[in-house]
Chains A and B, each alone.
Chain A
Amino acid sequence: MNTSITSDQLFRALKETLTMVGFSLFFASLIGIPIGILLVVTRPGGILANKWVYGILNPVINVVRSLPFIILLVAIIPFTRLIVHTSVGTSAAIVPLILYIAPYIGRLVENSLLEVNPGILEAAEAMGATPFQVIWYFLLPEAFGSLILTMTTATIGLIGATAMAGTVGGGGIGDLAISYGYQRFDTFVILVTVAILVAFVQGIQSVGNRLARKARRES
């Protein structure tokens, strides 16, 4: 089969995808996990119920989440420039990726934490645990297995979003597929990139599942 890309190009794209996924996952988690915790503890009836915090955070997340990634990408270019001093390239793609995936992680974390048996939180409160202790010793450990799956889902969502990051010259596997495979009818590139993405997603999901089972003592 004829192809116009070199293996160097492929490796560079691979590296770019991993960079984008890795960095944005890290920073988005730093933002998203606390958001998820905040949503759970400040919701009505939560251990730190707070009308204001919840009442503001909740709709703001909905608004950000309702924006398609491609719109977000373009809309925040000035902000991106402010943060990374450029609006093109891999690092410029990371900023919108973080902004896109952090609220998503927030929601997923919220759902995971809400699954924790309320009886356990009641027991914690009856023991005289402080709100921090409730979160640290009861809520997070009990939700740990579910949180692993949450992060798995977020990572896979992120891989999908990086494909669109090519639009701002972010590069990566997805960009390769679009600019060579789709625009230049290079079937080989399509096949290889699809295979790589499928392998990524499969690998991440099965590692996630295994870790989650272990955390839940189901092994």
Chain B
Amino acid sequence: MIELRDVYKTFERKGVSHEALRGVNLKAEKGDIFGVIGFSGAGKSTLIRLINHLEKPTRGHVFVDGEPLDRYGVKQLREARKRIGMIFQHFNLLETRTVFDNVAIPLVLLKKSKKEIRERVTELLEFTGLSDKARNYPKELSGGQKQRVGIARALASNPSILLCDEATSALDPQTTRSILDLLKRINEQYGITMLVVTHEMSVIQQICNKVAVMENGEIVEQGNVLDVFGDPRHPTTQNFVRTVIHNEVPGSVLQTLNAEPESRLFKLKFVGPSASEPIIDGLIRRHDLKVNILFANMTEIQKTTLGHMIIQLDGAAPVIDRAAEYLAGQGVQIEEVKSL
């Protein structure tokens, strides 16, 4: 569990103060993969660094598994940090140590026995698919492999929380996917709560169940990923959603529209089961009208399908009204649009 309560952070530099966080409230329950998305400079790194107190809040409180970190002394804080793993955009591995020794470091700090270290590291390397790289140095690894080492190292001390600051931002899309799969697997297998900071909506889409959108040090929108994706309110959120869900009608289609002045346009949105039902088929069978699909898009989020569609209905006005009622009855959110 991670909770930020009314957190402010002001940086002072050469007499100029800068409010990096302004009244942030956030709560990630146990087992959540909580995504924080925002453009560069929004305050995401500052936020994540507050959670393990690499940065102290100017005002407000931070709780990790119910522990009030801001009231801890140095020693207690160090102990608490051992229960919070962290991975970084640029991996931050020791270049002069082998993969094995890098993963072993947190255990060495905990003064574990040689035997215990060997067993735990071997297990972690196997879990992250690095068994054959144990004797290699970070220099000899690809970006994806380096991040796997970072993940194995973060897990070594059995943390209950994992903080990921732009963990896939330095990786290509394919490697990103495999790292995200690994994070998801860790979350499911060990129930570790994760806070994932990113500027890529696809990361949120693939693994998060909750999301907060940040701008200028404030959270402008937050909630379940499905709700936020399905109904983005804030312009910034809408911008981010648009990067993964395209619900714009292509220009070439728009040009053919004007040809049929009698027809009416509807925007449809369906979530979950209704998305896979043959709704359009039912619509055509039950109503005497012409259906023209201008645009359709299906996105999977959290194993649930989110569908967007723009259709043009051509027929007698009362028939079209009844058709719209029918769709609404099927659990489809329907909205008539005058123009696109």
Contacts and interface: CB of A to CB of B under 8 A. Distances in A.
B96 A119 contact: no
A141 B78 contact: no
B54 interface: yes
B213 interface: no
Interface in A104-139: 117, 119-120, 122-123, 125-130, 133, 137-138
A142 B78 contact: no
Contact of B92 (A117, A128, A129): A117
Contact of A123 (B78, B92, B95, B137): B92
Contact of B139 (A122, A125, A142, A217): A217
A128 B109 contact: yes
B13 to A, nearest CB: 11
B308 interface: no
A128 B79 contact: yes
Given A126-B54, A145-B96, A133 B109 contact: yes
B78 A128 contact: yes
A138 B81 contact: no
B328 interface: no
Interface residues of A, number: 21
B2 to A, nearest CB: 15
Contacts of B337: none
B95 A217 contact: yes
Contact of B86 (A123, A130, A137): A123
B293 interface: no
Given A126-B84, A127-B106, A141 B54 contact: no
Interface string A191-219: 00000000000000000000000011100
A144 interface: yes
Nearest to B89: A119
Interface centre among A123, A130, A133, A144 (most CB of B within 10 A): A123
B106 A122 contact: no
A144 to B, nearest CB: 6
Contact of A142 (B88, B96, B157, B163): B96
Contact of B80 (A117, A123, A128, A130): A128
Contacts of A123: 86, 88, 92
B316 interface: no
B88 A141 contact: no
B54 A125 contact: yes
Interface string B90-131: 101111110000000110110000000000000000000000
A215 B88 contact: no
Contacts of B157: 127
A144 B95 CA distance: 11
B94 A142 contact: yes
B210 interface: no
Interface centre among A125, A127, A128 (most CB of B within 10 A): A127
A9 B137 CA distance: 51
A130 B78 contact: yes
A122 B105 contact: no
Contact of B82 (A128, A138, A144, A216): A128
B52 interface: yes
Interface in B141-191: 157, 163
A146 to B, nearest CB: 11
A217 B137 contact: yes
Interface centre among B54, B90, B92 (most CB of A within 10 A): B92
A141 B84 CA distance: 24
B198 to A, nearest CB: 18
B95 A126 contact: no
Nearest to B78: A128
A219 to B, nearest CB: 11
B164 to A, nearest CB: 12
Interface in B51-97: 52, 54, 77-82, 84, 86, 88, 90, 92-97
Interface in B15-30: none
Given A119-B92, A123-B86, A144-B96, A137 B78 contact: no
A141 B94 contact: yes
Contacts of A127: 81-82, 105-106, 109, 157
Interface centre among A117, A126, A142, A216 (most CB of B within 10 A): A126
Contact of A126 (B52, B79, B108, B139): B52
Contacts of B163: 126
A138 B94 contact: yes
Nearest to A217: B137
The 4 A-B residue pairs whose C-beta atoms are closest, nearest first, are A128-B81, A119-B92, A128-B78, A123-B92
7 contacts: A120-B94, A122-B88, A126-B86, A127-B81, A127-B157, A129-B109, A217-B95
Given A122-B92, A142-B94, A142-B96, 19 more contacts: A119-B90, A119-B92, A120-B93, A123-B86, A123-B88, A125-B54, A125-B81, A126-B54, A126-B86, A127-B81, A127-B109, A128-B79, A128-B80, A128-B109, A129-B78, A129-B109, A130-B78, A141-B96, A216-B95
